[in-house]
Structure 1
């Protein structure tokens, strides 16, 4: 990942609650989070469903749009003030001419994360969902407000609070 991040020659800052991307936008960048945190969500019938978080030292990419060049259905919003390094698709493609393994590892990691996420959603018990995410990403609970984690886990904030206490 360090090789990919080193490609960046641009850094941006987005303020708390500001959108990095909105539904319908095309994104040809990968973002490395220097500081702060983001959430990726879909808006379905006026209800937000958080599907991913990013915080310090994570990569965020709207993979659907990045790979296809088509508009994404997703939103990316800063949870708190966030500093990002921007790596363009062109920078990545040039790098890949000689370093395909690094990109393959990043994509494999993203696919595995998405599969873990799908298992989380399909797991019936809120307690199991909470325990799986806590085990996999303990830093999440330090970086992300509980209301967003509860939404991500498809449970109420009260249920999450109860699970944390038990």
Structure 2
């Protein structure tokens, strides 16, 4: 069982979720310039995390069933973030506040080890993604993501996957056909 599944099971078993929320399609959970220190469990639906520059949106992460998502920078430093989090379809989330989460993590050495393992995994994923964007061809990026997260292609619209892969929707379409 992976560390995130173990963490979710422990939070469930200790009944630590603060509340549940539902987002409509295209509704924002978080917008640029706001602070959000919650962690969310996606029970159904899907979301994207993205930033906007003066020209376009850049998708940096997705969340779908059984994923934990957060505005991690805001969660860690409790400052406003440049991130947007938007529902791509009707989405149900469970919410745990930073205070409840950090109390839970601090409550045992096993929980601290689990959190550290999750953070380490996240850092390694981000490094792999950065390396891919800088050094891999569009086909290589597509193949790697398809192998790592095949569910992504059932849950997420192609235009957002293309943004995540740093290619145009047309390039993604050509790659999928080949």
Query: Into which bin does the TM-score normalised by the smaller protein fall?
Result: over 0.9
Cα deviation for residue 41 of structure 1 reads: 0.4
Structure 1 match to 2:166: 154
Structure 1 residues 11-20 or 154-163, which shifts more? 154-163
Q: Does the aligned pair in 2 maintain the 1:123–1:129 contact within 8 Å?
A: no
> Over aligned residues, Cα RMSD in angstroms?
1.3
Matched residue, 1:87: 96
Which sits farther off after the overlay, 114-123 or 85-94? 114-123
How far off is 1:75 after superposition? 0.3
Counterpart in the other structure of 1:52: 61
Q: Is 2:18–2:97's contact at 8 Å kept on the other side of the alignment? A: no
Distance in 2, matches of 1:101 and 1:77, equals 31
What SS class does the counterpart of residue 116 from structure 2 fall into?
helix
96-105 vs 41-50, greater mean Cα deviation: 96-105
Give the equivalent residue in structure 1 for 2:22: 13
TM-score normalised by structure 1 residue count: 0.95
Deviations 1:58-107 (A, max 9, x none): 01011111110110011000000110010111111111222212211221
1:3 aligns to 2:10 (yes or no): yes
Contact 2:37–2:98 (CA<8 Å) still a contact in 1?
yes
1:90-125 CA distances to partner (integer Å, 9 max, x unpaired)? Answer: 111111222212211221222122122212211341
Aligned residues between the structures: 166
Query: Distance in 2 between the 1:109 and 1:15 partners?
Result: 30
Check the 8 A contact 1:150/1:160 in 2, yes or no: yes
Retained in 2: the 8 A contact 1:34–1:57? yes
SS at match of 2:26: coil
